[in-house]
Chains A and B, each alone.
Chain A
Amino acid sequence: MFYRDAGQYKSSYAADRAVFPLREDRIGLAVILLVAFVAIPLFAGDFVIKTVMMPFLVFSLAAIGLNILTGYTGLISLGTAGFMGVGAYACYKLTTYFPGVNIIVWILASGFFSAAVGVLFGLPSLRIKGFYLAVATLAAQFFLQWCFIRIPWLYNYNTSGAIEVPTRTLFGVPITGATAAIEVRYLILLSAVVLMTWLASNLVHGRFGRMWMAVRDMDIAAELMGIRLLHTKLLAFAVSSFYAGVAGALLVFIWLGGAEAGDVFAIRQSFLILFMIIIGGLGSLVGSFMGAAFISALPTILKFGLPAMGIPIAGATAEHLNFMVIGALIIFFLIVEPHGLARLWQIAKQKLRIWPFPY
Chain B
Amino acid sequence: MRAPDTPVIVKGEALLAVENVSLRFGGVKALTDVSFDIRKGEVRAIIGPNGAGKTSMLNCINGFYHPSEGRITFKGETRRRMRPFEAARGGIGRTFQNVALFKGMTTLDNIMAGRFLKMRSGFFWQLLRYGPAMREEVEHRRFVEDIIDFLQIQHIRKTPVGKLPYGLQKRVELGRALAMEPELLLLDEPMAGMNLEEKEDMSRFILDVNQQYGTTIALIEHDMGVVMDLSDRVVVLEYGRKIADGTPEEVKRDQRVIDAYLGVAH
**Once the chains bind, are B101 and A226 in contact (CB under 8 Å)?**
no
Instruction: Tell me the chain B residues, 147-183 only, with Cβ under 8 Å from chain A.
Output: 149, 176, 180
Instruction: Tell me the chain B residues, 108-130 only, with Cβ under 8 Å from chain A.
Output: 109, 112-114, 116-117, 119, 121, 123, 126-129
Closest to B104 in A: A217
Which residue from B105, B128, B141, B145 sits with its C-beta under 8 Å from A202? Answer: B128
Which residue from A217, A220, A223, A224 sits with its C-beta under 8 Å from B105? Answer: A217
How near does chain B come to A17, taking the closest CB pair, in angstroms? 6
**Once the chains bind, are B103 and A14 in contact (CB under 8 Å)?**
no
**Once the chains bind, are A214 and B113 in contact (CB under 8 Å)?**
yes
The A interface, classified by DSSP as helix, strand, loop or mixed, is helix
**Once the chains bind, are B94 and A224 in contact (CB under 8 Å)?**
yes
Which residue from B105, B117, B141 sits with its C-beta under 8 Å from A214? Answer: B105
Closest to A11 in B: B138
Instruction: Tell me the chain B residues, 17-32 only, with Cβ under 8 Å from chain A.
Output: none
Q: Which interface residue of A9, A199, A203, A226 has the most chain B CB atoms within 10 A?
A: A226
Binary contact track A218-252/B, C-beta < 8 Å → 1, others 0: 10111111111000000000000000000000000
Q: Which interface residue of A205, A206, A217 has the most chain B CB atoms within 10 A?
A: A206
Binary contact track A271-283/B, C-beta < 8 Å → 1, others 0: 0000000000001
**Once the chains bind, are A224 and B101 in contact (CB under 8 Å)?**
no
**Once the chains bind, are B105 and A213 in contact (CB under 8 Å)?**
yes
Closest to A338 in B: B104
Closest to A3 in B: B145
How near does chain B come to A76, taking the closest CB pair, in angstroms? 16
Q: Is A216 an interface residue (CB 8 A)?
A: yes
**Once the chains bind, are B116 and A210 in contact (CB under 8 Å)?**
yes
C-alpha gap A42/B122 in the complex (Å): 41
**Once the chains bind, are A13 and B126 in contact (CB under 8 Å)?**
no
Known A213-B102, A217-B102, A225-B114; judge A206-B85 contact (CB<8 A). Answer: no
Inside 8 A of A225's CB, which chain B residues have their CB? 88, 113-114, 116-117, 176, 180
Inside 8 A of B96's CB, which chain A residues have their CB? 221
**Once the chains bind, are A10 and B138 in contact (CB under 8 Å)?**
yes
Q: Is A211 an interface residue (CB 8 A)?
A: yes
C-alpha gap A220/B58 in the complex (Å): 14
Binary contact track B75-113/A, C-beta < 8 Å → 1, others 0: 000000001110111000110100011111100010011
Known A13-B142, A283-B104; judge A220-B64 contact (CB<8 A). Answer: yes
Known A17-B137, A223-B84, A224-B62; judge A210-B142 contact (CB<8 A). Answer: no
Known A217-B102, A220-B64; judge A226-B117 contact (CB<8 A). Answer: yes
**Once the chains bind, are B126 and A221 in contact (CB under 8 Å)?**
no
C-alpha gap A202/B133 in the complex (Å): 10
Known A214-B105, A224-B88, A226-B85; judge A9-B113 contact (CB<8 A). Answer: no
Closest to B179 in A: A225
Q: Is A208 an interface residue (CB 8 A)?
A: yes
Binary contact track B129-146/A, C-beta < 8 Å → 1, others 0: 100011011100110010
Which residue from A9, A14, A226 sits with its C-beta under 8 Å from B88? Answer: A226
Q: Is A1 an interface residue (CB 8 A)?
A: yes
Instruction: Tell me the chain A residues, 180-229 only, with Cβ under 8 Å from chain B.
Output: 199, 202-203, 205-208, 210-211, 213-214, 216-218, 220-228
Closest to A229 in B: B85
Inside 8 A of A10's CB, which chain B residues have their CB? 138
C-alpha gap A226/B182 in the complex (Å): 11
**Once the chains bind, are B109 and A210 in contact (CB under 8 Å)?**
yes
C-alpha gap A222/B83 in the complex (Å): 13
Inside 8 A of A220's CB, which chain B residues have their CB? 64, 84, 100
Inside 8 A of A226's CB, which chain B residues have their CB? 85, 88-89, 116-117, 180
Which residue from B104, B138, B176 sits with its C-beta under 8 Å from A216? Answer: B104
Inside 8 A of A216's CB, which chain B residues have their CB? 102, 104
C-alpha gap A218/B126 in the complex (Å): 23
Instruction: Tell me the chain A residues, 1-48 only, with Cβ under 8 Å from chain B.
Output: 1, 3, 9-10, 13-14, 16-17
Inside 8 A of B133's CB, which chain A residues have their CB? 202, 206
**Once the chains bind, are A13 and B100 in contact (CB under 8 Å)?**
no
C-alpha gap A150/B159 in the complex (Å): 52
Inside 8 A of B176's CB, which chain A residues have their CB? 221, 225
How near does chain B come to A211, taking the closest CB pair, in angstroms? 6
**Once the chains bind, are B116 and A221 in contact (CB under 8 Å)?**
no
Which residue from B85, B129, B137 sits with its C-beta under 8 Å from A227? Answer: B85
Inside 8 A of A217's CB, which chain B residues have their CB? 101-105
Inside 8 A of B84's CB, which chain A residues have their CB? 220, 223-224
Closest to A211 in B: B116
How near does chain B come to A298, taking the closest CB pair, in angstroms? 28
**Once the chains bind, are B102 and A218 in contact (CB under 8 Å)?**
yes
Inside 8 A of A228's CB, which chain B residues have their CB? 85
Inside 8 A of B113's CB, which chain A residues have their CB? 210-211, 213-214, 222, 225
Closest to A213 in B: B105
How near does chain A come to B141, taking the closest CB pair, in angstroms? 5
Closest to B182 in A: A224
Closest to B138 in A: A13
Inside 8 A of B85's CB, which chain A residues have their CB? 223-224, 226-228
Q: Which residues of A contact B (CB under 8 A)?
A: 1, 3, 9-10, 13-14, 16-17, 199, 202-203, 205-208, 210-211, 213-214, 216-218, 220-228, 283
**9 extra interface residue pairs, beta carbon distance < 8 Å, beyond A13-B138, A207-B119, A225-B116:** A199-B128, A206-B137, A207-B136, A207-B137, A217-B104, A220-B64, A221-B102, A222-B102, A226-B117
Q: Supply 7 A–B pairs (Cβ within 8 Å), ascending by A.
A: A10-B138, A17-B134, A202-B129, A207-B136, A218-B103, A220-B84, A224-B93
Closest 7 CB pairs of A and B: A226-B88, A202-B129, A217-B102, A226-B117, A223-B84, A221-B100, A13-B138
